[in-house]
Structure 1
Amino acid sequence: MNCVLLEKLSVKSCITSVFLSLPIATPLLTATMLATPAYSAVISSISVSGNELIPSQTIRDFAGIKFGTNLTPADINDVLRRLYDSGMFENVELRVAGSNLVITVVENPTISVIAFEGNTNLKDAELAAVIKSSIRSPFNRLTAQADAQTIAHMYNLEGRVDVSVNPVIIPVSEGRVNLVFEVTESDVAGVNRISFVGNSAFSDRKLRGVIETNETNVLSFVLRGNTVNADTIALDRQKLTNYYANKGYIDFEVLSSIAELSADRSGHFLTHTVNEGFKYTFGEGTISSSINGVGTEAFEKIVNIRSGRPYSIEDVNEIVEAIEIEAVKQGLPFLRVNPNHTKNGADRTVDVNFEIVAGRRVYVERIDIGGNTGTVERVIRRQFDFVEGDAFNARKMADARDNLMSLGIFGNTNVSVRDGSSPDKVIVDVDVQDVPTGSVGFALGYSSDSGFNGLISLTEDNFLGRGQDFALELSYGEDTQVFSLSFNEPAFLDRDLSAGFSLYFQKSDFDASSFQTTNLGFEPSVRFAVGEDTSMKLSYSLSRDEIRDVHDDASAIIFADAVGPQITSSFGVTLSYDRRNSRVNPTSGYFLTLEEDFAGLGGDLNFSKTIVRAKAYTAFFDENVVVSAEVEGGALVTTDGSNTRVTDRFFLGGNSLKGFATGGIGPRDTSTANDDALGGNYYGVVRLQGTFPIGLGEDAGIYGGVFAEAGSVWDLGDIGFADDEMSIRASSGFSLFWSSPLGPLEFSYAVPILYEDDDVTQNFSVAISTRF
C-alpha cells in the first residue's frame, strides 16, 4: 500500500499512515489537463471506472456534462473541480475517446473511526460535536483541515492560544481509514493588564468594572479562567458603549480594541482606545403618532422624561418598551415606537420625540434552535417572550438574546431572523455554543470575626444541560466548619419561578459565650417576581440544633437552653424591592428587604422572627464619591409563652457594628468567668458610609472611606435578667479598601463613642476574601 507524506508529523501506535496538509488539488488538476486533447469534442456518452462504493450515475451527475455539447479544455477543468469539490475522490482522471468521456476515479477511503489524542481540557464528546467529518462517510482532506481549525478555535475561546491540532489518517484496511486529531494543548493565556486611552470622565478602574473581561489575579487558579477572544472583546465594547450612553455621552465610540500577547505568550495586554465626546442632559420629551386613528393620549403619561437629568439610553429604551407593552394591552400588537433624538449643541441637551409608527404585520412561523449540544432546547425557548404564531417583535428578540447571554452557559450566541413561507411570516434562527460550566474553586479568607478559613467548592451552572445550578461546598475555619449542598432550578415548570433546596451541616464555637453548637438542616425554597423590581421568596426549614460542650462555669441561662437536640420547623417569607443601578457596585438607588420566619409547624420551638433592612446610595463628583445609608432591625417573639434560646437571639458587633467585638454589646452574664454574651430579642442599627479616592492613582486600586454606626441589642423576655434594657452604642472611623492581587481587602479602624463598661470593644478589623 502506497503512503503519501504531505506534512511531517509524529504518529503513535501505527505503522502505515497518511498525513494531511493544506494544499488542494490544483497541481494534480493541472497535470491531468495537460494529458487532455487541446481540441473540443462533442460528447455523447460518459464511461466511469474505478468506483466501488459510489454509483456511476452519481459521478455523472457531479460531472454536470450535457450530451451533445462541445467539451473544451476549460470545460474539462470545470468537471475536474466539481468532482474534487464533492469530497468523495482522492484522484480523478479524464480522457476523451472520440465522443466518449472516460472518467477514472480513485475513491476517498471511508472513515472507520474518529479519535482525539492529547486533549485533556476538552472532552472527546465536546470536540466530536463541532467537527464536520463523520464515521462511515468519505474522508475529505479539506474537511479534516477545517475541523482541525474548528478544534483550535474552541481552545482559543478558553484562552489557550498556543494549541496545535494535526489531523492524521491511519489506513486500517482496503478503502477504510481511522481519522485521528492530534492535539497539543497549551496553558491559558490570561489578562495581564487592561488599559484605556482617551478617557477622562471615568477612571481606568471604573471602566474595568464595567467590562466583562477582568485582569487575571496573580494567585488565580480556576479550571475556566478569564480569557480574551473576539467575542469577549465585542462584549466589552458594547458594555462600554452602553455605560457611556447611560451617563449622557451619546457620541461615545470605541476607536480600537487591541489585545497583544506578552513575549512569553502567557497573557494579554488589552487596550481600549475611546472617544468620549461631550456629556448631554435630557431636554424635552414628547410623543407623536404617524398612524391614522391612533392617538397619543393613552401613552403621554408614560413619557416621564425630566429635563436636566443626564441623558440615558436605558431610560429611553424603558419608555419605548412601556409604550409598546401598553399598545399590546390596547389591541395594537404591531405598533412600534421610534425614539427620534435632536441634539442641541449650544446647551448640550437632547430632545427625544417618541414617534408611534405602524410596524410590519409579521408573525413568527417557527423558532429554529441549533448548536446546543448539551443544553436541552426548552432552556433556550423559555428565554423568549413569544412563541410560534405570535406577532413578531424585534425588541423582544433582542431581549431574548440578552437573556441567553446572561445565563452564562453559552459562548457564541446569535439570534437572527429570515423570511418564512409567506410574506407575513418569519423564522427566528437561534445559534448557540455550549461552553464548560462546571468549576472547582478554592478559597482562603480571614476576618476579625471568624479568623482564618478555607473553602473548597464544586459548582455546575448548567446541571445535566437543564440550566440548573448545583453547588457542593466545604468550609473549614477556626470557629466554624460547614458542609453544604444546594440545587436550584431557575425556571421551575418552565415558569418565572425559581425553586431549589439546600442541605447543610454546621459546627460552631462561640468565643463570646461558653458553648458550641451543631446544626443539621434542610431548606427548600421558591422565588418569583411580583413586580418589575420586586421579588418574593418562600421557604421551609427543618433543622436539628444542639447546644453542646457547655463550660462548667457558663451562665445558668445557657445551661437552661442546653437541653439536647431541638427540632426547628419553620416557614419563611422574604420580600425584596431592589432599585439599585448595580448589584455589584451600586452608586445610586436603594433596596428594601423584609424577612419573616414562623417556627412551630411541628418541632420543639415556637417563635416568630422578623428582620427589616433598607439601604440607599448616592454619588457625587462623577461617581468618585459614593455615600450610603442603611437601617436594619429585627424582633424575635415566642408564640407559646416560652423563653427564647440563646442561639435564636440577635447579636451585634464585628462587621455588623464596627468598634465592638462580635457579641460585644447587649445583655451579658457578668457573673461568669467568660462574661457570656446572651444576645437579645430585639436589635436595631444605623450605618452611614462614604467612599472616595485618596490620590494614589487608579493603578494602585486603593481608596478610602469613613463611617459612623449606631445600634443596640436588648431584651431577654421573662428570663429575669436585670440588665437587658436598650442602650445605644455608637462608633465612627475610617476604612482603607485595596483591590489587591489577593482580592478585595478592607482595613477598618473604629473608635467607640457610646458604650457601656461591660462591652467588648475592638478598634481594628481586617477582612480578606478571595476565590482562586
Structure 2
Amino acid sequence: MGTVHAKEPEINNMNDQHSSHDNMSEDHHRNHHVFHGDIKVKVEKVHIEGLGRTKDDMVTKHVNQLFKAQTFKDVILKSGVVKQELEELGVFQGVGVFIDTSKGPEARPDGLDVTVIVKETRRITGNAHTSVGNNEGSLVLGVKCPNLFGRAENLAAEYSRGTKHSIGFNTTFTKPLRGNQQKRFTVSAFRTSGDFPSSSYKETDNGVLLDLVLPSFLGEHSFKWEGNWRDISCLTRTASFAVREMSGHSVKSSVKHLYTRDTRNERIYPTQGYLLQLSQELAGFKALGGDVQFLKGEAELQMNRKFFSDCVLSCSLQAGLMKPLNYTETRINDRFFIGGPTSVRGFNFRGLGPHTDGDSVGGEAYWATGLHLYTPLPFMPGRGGLGDLIRTHVFLNAGNLCNLNLEEQNIHQHLEQLRENFRWSYGAGIILRLGRIARFELNYVIPKTAQPMDSVNAGLQFGVGLSFL
C-alpha cells in the first residue's frame, strides 16, 4: 500500500513548510504552464504516496472529490479541503499536496495530475503532561497506539495522579465510523479514586463505559452506558452519621444521553455564540441491573455577546433534578453539589446546600446562574501578546440546592421551594487563560445571602478549571 493510483487527478504534500498554493505555482512555472483561476481543467490522475498500514479507502474517499473540479481555482480549493480532512483523521504526521500538468502521450492539454504525499504516525507513542480539572491539577502519563488497524482506530492507556490525592487509570479504544471522526464508538475501562474532604468520604470506582457519538445538523448526540462498581469509605473518624450510613459498595448500571450544541467562537473567552447542553440518565431500571436506581436530568445554557471596546456580556444558567426509583434513596456520590470558585462564588467547594454535622451531603434539585461582564486590562487592550491571555470581570452569581418531595408536592410548591432562601453573591476579579481549555481566576467575592448550614468563603477566592458558571 505504499502508492495508490486513482483515475484522474492527484494531490501532493511535499513539505509541511510549503502550502499547496506555493507548490502549485512552482510546478507550473517549472513546466512553463500558467493556469488562471477560472481556466477549465481536468484532473486526470490522483497519486497517493506514503501509505503503510493505513487502508487505501481511508484516503481515496477524500481525494475523489478532486475529480469533480472544473476550474483551476476549484482544484486549489478542493486540494486544501482534502489536506484538512486527511489531517483531521489523526493518522498522519504530515499531509502534502502537489499539483502538476499531466504527463504522457495521451495527456490532455488541460489535464492535471495531483499527488498526495502522507507521513503516517508512529505505531506507538508515549507522552507525559499535566492536565487541569476543576480546582485540581494532575500529572498524566500515557501510551497510545494510533491507527491501530489502519482505519483511524486508537488504543490509549493513561495513568494520572492529582494534587488532591486523586488517582486514575483508564484504557480506551476508539473506532471512527466509516472513517468519520465526528461519528465514533468508544470503549473504556477505568479505575479512579479521589478524596472529597468537604463531604468526609473517599470514593473508588471500577467500571466500563461504552459511548456512541453521532453528529446532527443542530449539534452532537452522545449515547452512553456505564457499569460502575463504587466503594465509599470515610476519610476521618469525625465523618457524620449520614456519610457513614451511605458508605460501602454499590453497583451502578446506567444509560445516558447527552446533547450538545456549541456555537461559541472559543471556550475560554467567547465573544459570541451560545452553549446548550442537555443530559438525561437512567440508572438501575429493569434490565439495566445494579442496586442504584434513579432518573436524573440536567441542563446548561450559556450565551455571550460582544459590546464596545472588546467588552463581553455572558449569562449562564444551570439546573438539575433527580428522582430515586422503586422507593430507594439517592446516594451521596450521585447527588448534585454546587458552590466554590468554579460554581456559585463566595462559597467553599460544595459549600452551598444541605449539610449534616459539617459534611456536605448534596441535594436532588438545584439551579445556579451567573452574569459576567468581561473587559480587557486597561493597559493591555487585548490586541495580541499578554493582553489576549488576561481579562478582568465583574460578576453576579445566584443559586439554590435542596431536596424536593416529588411524590406529594405539586409543581408550584417545587418552584417555591427552589426560589426561597436562594443565595447570591457578587464580586470582581482577574482571569488568566491556560491554553485553550482551562482558566485561572482570582476574585474578590462578597456573599450577600447565605444559610446557617452553608460554608461561606468571603473575600479573596481563587480557582482553576475547565468550566465555570
Give the 5 Å matches for 1:495-644: 497-531=183-217, 533-549=218-234, 551=236, 553-562=238-247, 564-583=248-267, 585-600=269-284, 601-621=288-308, 624-644=310-330
2:115 maps to 1:429: yes
The letter of the residue matching 1:651 is F
Contact 1:382/1:494, CA 8 A, preserved across alignment: no
Structure 2 residue matching 1:762: 3-state secondary structure:
coil
Structure 2 contact 246–332 (Cα < 8 Å) conserved? yes
Residue 646 of structure 1 corresponds to: 332
Aligned to 1:230: 17
Q: Secondary structure at the match of 1:380?
A: helix
Distance in 1 separating the partners of 2:62 and 2:339 = 44
- For normalisation by structure 1, the TM-score amounts to 0.47
AA aligned to 2:447 is P
For 1:413, the equivalent position in structure 2 comes to: 96
Are 2:448 and 1:753 aligned? yes
1:664-703 map, 5 Å: 664-669=351-356, 672=357, 675-697=358-380, 699-701=385-387, 702-703=390-391
Give the partner amino acid of 2:457. Answer: Q
- Displacement, 1:537? 0.9
Q: CA separation in 2, counterparts of 1:738 and 1:599? A: 39
Instruction: Pick one of 699, 703, 710 that aligns with 2:398.
Output: 710
Pick closer, same or farther for the CA change 1:596–1:434 going to 2, 3 Å. Answer: same
Report how far residue 583 of structure 1 moved.
4.6
Mark the CA change 1:416 to 1:639 in structure 2 (over 3 Å): closer, same or farther. farther
Q: Which residue of 1 aligns with 2:461?
A: 765
* Secondary structure, counterpart of 2:190 in structure 1: strand
CA shift digits 1:656-687 (9 cap, x unpaired): 22111111111112xx2xx1211011111111
Q: Which amino acid aligns with 1:402?
A: Q
Match for 1:560: what amino acid? E
Q: Is the 8 A contact 1:444 1:769 kept in 2?
A: no
SS in 1 for 2:289: strand
Counterpart residue number, 2:141: 456
User: Is contact 2:239–2:359 with CA below 8 Å preserved after alignment?
Assistant: yes
Q: Structure 1 residues 530, 745: CA separation in 2 closer, same or farther (over 3 Å shift)?
A: closer
Q: CA deviation at 1:397?
A: 4.6
Aligned with 1:565: secondary structure?
strand
Following superposition, the deviation at residue 405 of structure 1 comes to 3.4
- CA distance in 1 between counterparts of 2:181 and 2:249 reads 39
1:519 CA drift (Å): 0.8
Aligned partners of 2:158 and 2:169 also within 8 Å: yes
Deviations along 1:129-148, one digit per CA (max 9) or x if unpaired, are 9xxxxxxxxxxxxxxxxxxx
Q: Summarize the Cα distance change of 1:626–1:467 in structure 2 as closer, same or farther, 3 Å threshold.
A: farther
**Residues 757 and 494 of structure 1: CA distance in aligned 2, closer, same or farther (over 3 Å):** closer
Matched length: 409
> How many Å separate the matches in 2 of 1:583 and 1:379?
31
User: What is the DSSP-based 3-state SS (H/G/I as helix, E as strand, rest coil) of the residue aligned with 1:761?
Assistant: coil
Q: Which residue of 1 aligns with 2:29?
A: none
Determine the C-alpha separation between the residues in 2 that align with 1:383 and 1:496. Answer: 15
Q: Does the residue aligned with 1:512 lie in a helix, a strand or coil?
A: helix
Does residue 381 in structure 1 map to residue 69 in structure 2? Answer: no
With over 3 angstroms needed to count, the CA separation of the structure-2 counterparts of 1:613 and 1:446, relative to structure 1, is closer
Query: Is contact 2:344-2:399 (8 Å) kept?
Result: yes
Q: Which of 434, 438, 442 lines up with 2:129 in the alignment? A: 442
* Aligned partner (choices 43, 48, 60) of residue 369 of structure 1: 48
The answer (yes or no) to whether the contact 1:529–1:535 under 8 Å persists in 2 is yes
2:82 maps to amino acid = A
Deviations 1:201-238 (A, max 9, x none): xxxxxxxxxxxxxxxxxxxxxxxxxxxx835xx69x9x
Deviations 1:573-619 (A, max 9, x none): 11112222335643211121111111121111221111111111222
CA drift of 1:752 comes to 1.0
Does the 8 Å contact 1:446/1:767 carry over to 2?
Answer: no
- Equivalences for residues 383-402 of structure 1 within 5 A: 383-384=62-63, 386=65, 394=75, 396-402=78-84
Greater Rg over alpha carbons, structure = 1
1:129-168 to 2 correspondences below 5 Å: none
Question: Secondary structure in 2 aligned to 1:643?
Answer: coil
Q: SS in structure 2 opposite 1:378? A: helix
The alpha carbon displacement at 1:538 in A equals 0.9
Which AA in structure 1 matches 2:243? I
**Inter-partner Cα distance in structure 2 for 1:737 and 1:663:** 22
* CA separation of 1:711 and 1:744: change in aligned 2, threshold 3 A: closer
The runs of 5 or more residues in structure 1 that have no matched partner are: 1-128, 130-153, 158-228, 238-337, 339-356
Give, in whole Å, the separation in 2 of the partners of 1:385 and 1:640. Answer: 56
SS at match of 1:471: strand
Other-structure match for 1:92:
none
The one-letter amino acid paired with 1:612 is: A
Distance 1:703 1:365, change over 3 A: same
Change in Cα spacing, 1:374 to 1:642, as seen in structure 2 (3 Å) is same
User: How is 1:223-372 mapped onto 2 (pairs within 5 angstroms)?
Assistant: 230-231=17-18, 367-372=46-51
Q: CA deviation at 1:411?
A: 2.2
* Alignment match of 1:476 (pick from 127, 150, 161): 161
Question: Does the CA contact (< 8 Å) of 2:220 and 2:261 recur in 1?
Answer: yes
Q: Separation in 1 of the partners of 2:318 and 2:370? A: 9
> Identity of paired residues, percent?
24
Q: 1:691, 1:706 within 8 Å by CA — same for their partners in 2?
A: yes
Task: Work out the CA distance in 2 between the residues paired with 1:572 and 1:507.
Answer: 22
CA 1:494/1:579 → structure 2, altered by over 3 Å: closer, same or farther?
closer
- What is the CA distance between 1:463 and its match in structure 2? 4.5
Question: CA offset at residue 485 of structure 1?
Answer: 2.3
Name whichever structure is richer in strand by fraction. 2
Equivalent in the alignment of 2:28: none
Do the aligned partners of residues 553 and 488 (structure 1) sit closer, same or farther apart at CA in structure 2, a change above 3 Å counting? same
Who is 1:737 aligned against? 431
Give the structure, 1 or 2, with the largest relative contact order (CA under 8 Å, sep 6 or more).
2
Cα distance change, pair 658–469 in 1 and its aligned pair in 2 (3 A): farther
Letter in 1 for 2:443: S
Which secondary structure does the structure 2 equivalent of 1:632 belong to? strand
Q: Secondary structure at the match of 1:660?
A: coil
Partner Cα distance (1:525, 1:446) in 2: 21
Instruction: Give the conservation status (yes or no) of the 8 Å contact 1:479–1:510.
Output: no
